[in-house]
A and B are shown apart, each in its own frame.
Chain A
């Protein structure tokens, strides 16, 4: 037993020494390696050449999720790209070409004295920033000795002049006990309710709300930018109203002192369960009435050009 243990120990030492020697030789530029960089490299093509990419530019590339939606990072300058290429099946890489938006941006020959390596790792700085802000496509092509054997990889980066500023926050709290202060005080709430109750009796809410009991689901501030206009309130009807047809007020934003321009909308709603009502508190008037997300409408027509017909945005 003792001789065989000694033999195993000697063999282990020999393996360590040889491995260290090979590593030192390769890191010093010997063998087939043109240059070495310390980086995590991802395999991107595996044809006649195994092509791996890494470095800051690669890390900043646009990623895509399973739905194809982008995950974007920003590049502000020319960042390094590590390219690692290994020949397969007797192929040997002769050069690496770098293109930005289809135009040649850099070329590195890998062969020295007529001999091309089996493996090369280089770092190139891709001139993406000089192409200006916006998305750019980077293409890496590894070419073999014959020119017809190639491996290529493409990726996209987004250049900006400067990184967007961001503020840092504290870790979030669980079960926060922060007191919740109502956004609208009692006085404004009472005034809003009094305007609504007046209008449901004999005004613009008579046809759409009438005497139907309601609860206030939410109430908040109505603005025109920095200018406070009044309140906006979401009413939930105790029972749905059906077959509603009524002219209701609506508005368009306006630069005048009120902040809006009033109009009239012809509303037809087979079912009204909830209503958004905007109140100009200073003028004590209802300026908008809209069926909420629980209500069904069949007509919503402006009676004049100044009335809103709902946003044409899509979400």
Chain B
């Protein structure tokens, strides 16, 4: 995703001199070409995320559209108050970009796992929160952000995420993408878990004739509440899948929507991280499996939930 990010940003920066990239001294092999090509639109501020965020707000108030770039929690939780007061309160055109959302930096350990970022950023007034599902969505999201969308958080994976969308997509801010049609239940994912969600759907179809609708909820805020409500009405069961705490992220957001949507009660379950630090050491896939978010485990839990649902019991 970071490749699509920098390639798209480069393309947009060429067209629009307002587009500016600031980094907190990270992005080796990613940002150098941009820096050489657009010296007046690039700034390595050093290892100083609070200053970076304040600088970005000041530059945005001066007419620029600024992307602040770092990894994991460094551009978000470290300067959180700057994001709240300087960026969000002022409605500044600053896009906070985190590479390595979730556990992409696996074996580097808990300091490098961004697993509460969506919940925290989502709670800030005026923030748009985006976590693209694959490289194609990343390109579309960066293009959208370059138009100036006000305060925004863009959570990316790292590199080499599989392509999910093989056909062109109609990516719109705040509109979930129906990535697979199905009537038996809906699996909503955000960020790079989209690929796993599609694998789960294929497995359940092949092995149990359960047809899942898959939604890519690339924009967590503003949330496509209508897509969630429609999924509940059409399929009677909604599951969420995210590489993030189950508190306050996609699962939390969907729960809020469904709890208030009493017209269509449905089966609902969140698949994500519990509110505990992982003690396991390993790469991203290892940690995802350890957390029970791998394709096989999620498939089993969805099948079990559907089998014991009130509707299933009635049918039996």
Question: Do A and B belong to a common assembly?
Answer: no
Q: Which A residues form the contact surface with B (CB < 8 A)?
A: none
Q: Which B residues form the contact surface with A (CB < 8 A)?
A: none
